[in-house]
Chains A and B, each alone.
Chain A
Amino acid sequence: MVGIDFLVSFVPLFPLLGFIFIALNTRRFTEGFTSFVACGSVLASFIVSVVLFIHLAGLTADERSIHITLFNWISAGNFSASISFLIDPLSSLMLLIITGVGFLIHVYSIGYMHDDDGYNRFFSYLNLFVFFMLMLVMGANYLVMFIGWEGVGLCSYLLIGFWFKNQDYNDAANKAFIMNRIGDLGMLLGIILIFMNFGSIEYLQVFPQTSSIDTSIITLITVLLFIGAMGKSAQIPLYTWLPDAMAGPTPVSALIHAATMVTAGVYMVARNNLLYSLAPVAMELIVIVGLATALFAATIALTQNDIKKVLAYSTVSQLGLMFVALGLGSFTGGIFHMATHAFFKALLFLGAGSVIHALHHEQDIRNMGGLKKYLPVTYLTFLIGVLAISGLPPFAGFFSKDEILAAAFASNKIVWAVALLASMLTAFYMFRLFFLTFLGTTRASQNTLDHVHESPQSITLPLIVLAVLSAIGGFMGIPEALGGSHWLGDFLAPVFAQSKGHVEAHALTHSTEYMLMGGVVVLTLIIIVYAYSRYVSKNHVPVEEGQITSPLQRTLYNKYYVDEIYDSIVVKPLYWLSQQFYSVVEKSGIDRLVNSSGRGLESGSKFARLIQTGRVGYYIFVMVVGIALLLGYASLT
Chain B
Amino acid sequence: MINNIPIDYYIWLSATLFTIGVMGVLYRRNAIIIFMCIELMLNAVNLLMVAFSSYLNDASGQVFVFFIMAVAAAEVAVGLAILVLMYRNTKTIDINVLNRLKW
Contact = CB atoms under 8 A, between A and B. Distances in A.
B99 A614 contact: yes
B68 interface: no
Contacts of A612: 101-103
Nearest to B102: A614
Contact of A617 (B26, B100, B101, B103): B26
Contact of B26 (A609, A613, A614, A620): A620
Most B CB contacts (10 A, CB to CB) among A609, A615, A616, A620 go to A616
Contacts of A620: 25-26, 34
Contact of A614 (B22, B25, B34, B101): B101
A584 interface: no
Interface string B29-43: 100001000000000
B95 interface: yes
B98 interface: yes
Contacts of A614: 98-103
Contacts of A616: 95-96, 98-99, 101
B35 to A, nearest CB: 12
A481 interface: no
B16 to A, nearest CB: 17
A612 B99 CA distance: 10
Contacts of A617: 26, 29, 95-96
Nearest to B97: A616
A286 B60 CA distance: 86
Contacts of A621: 26
Contacts of B101: 612, 614, 616
A624 interface: yes
A141 to B, nearest CB: 65
A97 to B, nearest CB: 77
B46 to A, nearest CB: 18
Interface residues of B, number: 13
Interface in A596-637: 609, 612-617, 620-621, 624
A626 to B, nearest CB: 13
A29 to B, nearest CB: 64
A624 B29 CA distance: 16
Interface string B71-103: 000000000000000000000000110111111
Nearest to A623: B25
Contact of A615 (B25, B34, B96, B103): B96
A544 B25 CA distance: 99
Contacts of B95: 615-617
A615 B98 CA distance: 7
A615 B101 CA distance: 8
B29 to A, nearest CB: 7
A296 B96 CA distance: 92
Contacts of B34: 620
Contact of A624 (B22, B100, B103): B22
A609 B103 contact: yes
Contacts of B25: 620, 624
Interface string B45-79: 00000000000000000000000000000000000
B31 to A, nearest CB: 8
A616 B95 CA distance: 6
A584 to B, nearest CB: 40
A309 to B, nearest CB: 72
B102 A624 contact: no
B17 to A, nearest CB: 16
B102 A613 contact: yes
A615 B22 CA distance: 17
Contacts of B29: 617
B82 to A, nearest CB: 12
Most A CB contacts (10 A, CB to CB) among B34, B100, B101 go to B101
Nearest to A620: B25
Interface in B1-28: 22, 25-26
Most B CB contacts (10 A, CB to CB) among A614, A617, A620, A621 go to A617
Nearest to B23: A624
Nearest to A614: B102
Nearest to B101: A614
A521 to B, nearest CB: 97
Contacts of B98: 614, 616
A621 B103 CA distance: 19
A614 B100 CA distance: 5
Nearest to B99: A614
B34 to A, nearest CB: 8
Contacts of B102: 612-614
A614 B98 CA distance: 7
A620 B25 CA distance: 8
Contacts of A613: 99, 102
Contacts of B103: 609, 612, 614
A615 B99 contact: yes
A101 B29 CA distance: 94
Contacts of A609: 103
A530 to B, nearest CB: 93
A55 B60 CA distance: 84
B58 to A, nearest CB: 23
A614 B22 CA distance: 20
Nearest to B103: A609
A64 B98 CA distance: 92
18 contacts: A609-B103, A612-B101, A612-B102, A612-B103, A613-B99, A614-B100, A614-B102, A614-B103, A615-B96, A615-B99, A616-B99, A616-B101, A617-B26, A617-B96, A620-B25, A621-B26, A624-B25, A624-B26
Given A617-B26, A621-B26, 12 more contacts: A612-B103, A613-B99, A614-B99, A614-B100, A614-B102, A614-B103, A616-B95, A616-B98, A617-B29, A620-B34, A624-B22, A624-B25
Pairs A-B, 4 closest by C-beta atoms: A614-B102, A614-B99, A616-B95, A612-B102
